[in-house]
Chains A and B, each alone.
Chain A
């Protein structure tokens, strides 16, 4: 008797689970998103786009049976997402019939820019940028297209699960938390623990942003070692040009505007993610490397007996036990670099072991007018004049370096992303 009751209970529970499973409460929303945004109430595609993903230009409506329809943004207003008999469907009168997806399971949205794309890099150049949407679309096979009332819909059918196929032995993987680790694709080119999630790529438990084949071996930590080594027997000047990326240097080279740096041997430097001054400085000024969450200061490991001048703008990212000299834009010309340069000229005549000069205007101008703007190239030319005078007058060793690169979005320069242009800085011992 007890046995029968237990069996009955189990049957009832199983039945309830089946009913619950049949009643989908939500539609998965995937693709090029900046966060998690499932659909759990009836809506229209255009309303959902306006409220959640205003930049979306395509959507892929995916049914549970693997049939999908790709439509462009101007068709969104004709699609309603409705729930009928506990199932979600897309409903439309004006669009081709392939847009009517029964038992709608997922909607993937495409927008041109996404935070969570996967950058495939090789040495100092990009090989591919895979967005979560393009990866999702690769899971489908194109069947054909149809049109109605000037609206076009493309029909797809799901074929397989997305996976990478990488033809190399090893890659450096960089995650959104800044962690770096080497991964080793198997003989089929697949990477263990790699998967496409709703709006990002996952490696183990991390959000994967970069897979880098043969990345530059030089890092800011190694640059730091070179500076410390030179400091043992020499006076050293470190000139940090904020935002001077490896690709901007190559761009100037292509335009024949590289000038004096064209005669110098400069190298690409890989900076930590996210590429920003605070993060990179932490690698450069402390022996521990990336430590931005803890209290750090400029060159804590260089003994007090050594004389250091640190020339910064009107504020410093980190404190220092050494002489930290801040500057303001005294002549109101919109740049503090000229004031920093004047101080540097004065300080190099004083007794010291290391002078650290941080020029900011190239980064500032990039944010203002764009990474490759004429204005930014003019700022570079100004900084070169400072460099020429400093190298002519300095008796010691000079290290030239930068903290990160920059790329354009909406006409303005930005960094802090996993774009290769942000991740590659420069270094060279120019004297």
Chain B
């Protein structure tokens, strides 16, 4: 009986490894290696820096666009790829159309093991190349737009206690992620946009990825880690968080709202913003760079369209 249970578990795991699903609205399409092999195959070459060497690889597999065509998926804004271990990346429609990503079945003329079958986006860093994909979700999702209010994350954290070894991480100090959110958001549910200093961003579901996350403090930078996500998704030097109209900015790292505007590609930002200090609202130019001593006392910035 015990053997049968173990075998069943292994079988379920194998099934999980070799099949992926595409979710488009209410429809779910299952596809496996055979389905992918039967589509027209193309080759792409990538270059990656590994240990100070440039590594060149030749990948072969069906173009993502072919897969989308097969399932008649034309109207969408983003695709969300989730791996078995919950690793997740999103690609915008524009990226898919210009970069021509593939689902690689071969690498350098060798057939990849089924669990190594991988999304390859030639123009993106390999952190975007999801392996062992379990789900591709089709989203008609608009990127979060201009927030109405941006809270000063450092002002918020100055009022929060630091913890040594915040669970489950050790040999570090930091905060629980929910400490920075406080009670600012009407509900801690749904998607949160998280952006790092070097522009890497994730849109993550709070319950699934962030409810147990922590912010590790290192050299005045915040590193977002969560036991709910694979280490490859952890964000170094987190500077920005947004959920709907409310955002939080780490002003010790970015002390000008115009920098955020550029980073986020916001369209039609206002020329002026208001900053709130000790209950008083002061009008500033969007381009103003705040002195560190000045910005640490600002509670929030109001952004009006």
Contact = CB atoms under 8 A, between A and B. Distances in A.
Contact of A253 (B164, B178, B245, B305): B164
B160 A408 contact: yes
Contacts of A409: 159
Interface stretch (A19-27, A188-196, A244-252, A357-365): A244-252
B161 A372 contact: yes
B254 interface: no
Contacts of A276: none
A138 interface: yes
A407 interface: yes
Contacts of A248: 161
A333 interface: no
B264 interface: no
Contacts of A394: none
A407 B183 contact: no
Nearest to A151: B305
B183 A247 contact: no
Interface stretch (B17-25, B125-133, B184-192): B184-192
Nearest to A134: B187
A248 B161 CA distance: 7
B216 to A, nearest CB: 12
Nearest to A253: B164
Contact of A370 (B158, B164, B244): B158
Interface stretch (A78-86, A97-105, A111-119): A111-119
Nearest to A246: B161
Interface residues of A, number: 39
A129 B183 contact: yes
B182 interface: yes
A30 interface: no
Contacts of A9: none
B161 A251 contact: yes
B143 interface: no
A74 B159 contact: no
A137 B159 contact: no
B276 to A, nearest CB: 10
A114 B184 CA distance: 11
A58 interface: yes
Contact of A112 (B160, B184, B190): B184
B161 A411 contact: no
Given A112-B183, A133-B186, A254-B173, A411 B159 contact: yes
A254 B164 contact: yes
B186 A250 contact: no
Contact of B164 (A142, A250, A407, A411): A250
Interface string B278-301: 110000000000000000000100
A110 B186 contact: yes
B159 A73 contact: no
Given A57-B149, A112-B182, A138-B187, A407 B162 contact: no
B186 A73 contact: no
B42 interface: no
A134 B176 CA distance: 20
A299 interface: no
A370 B159 contact: yes
Given A72-B148, A74-B148, A74-B304, A250 B183 contact: no
A137 B161 contact: no
Interface string A370-381: 111100000000
A130 to B, nearest CB: 10
Given A72-B245, A74-B148, A150-B305, A372 B186 contact: no
Contacts of B305: 150
A342 interface: no
Interface in B143-166: 148-149, 155, 158-164
Contacts of B158: 370, 372-373, 408, 411
Given A74-B148, A250-B164, A58 B159 contact: no
Contacts of A133: 186-187
A360 B187 CA distance: 38
A150 B148 CA distance: 11
A313 to B, nearest CB: 26
B183 A117 contact: yes
A112 B159 CA distance: 15
28 contacts: A57-B186, A72-B148, A110-B186, A113-B183, A114-B183, A117-B183, A129-B183, A133-B186, A134-B186, A134-B188, A142-B190, A152-B245, A247-B161, A248-B161, A250-B161, A250-B162, A250-B164, A254-B162, A254-B164, A254-B173, A370-B158, A371-B161, A372-B160, A408-B158, A411-B155, A411-B159, A411-B278, A411-B299
Interface of B: 148-149, 155, 158-164, 173, 176, 178, 182-184, 186-188, 190, 244-246, 278-279, 299, 304-305
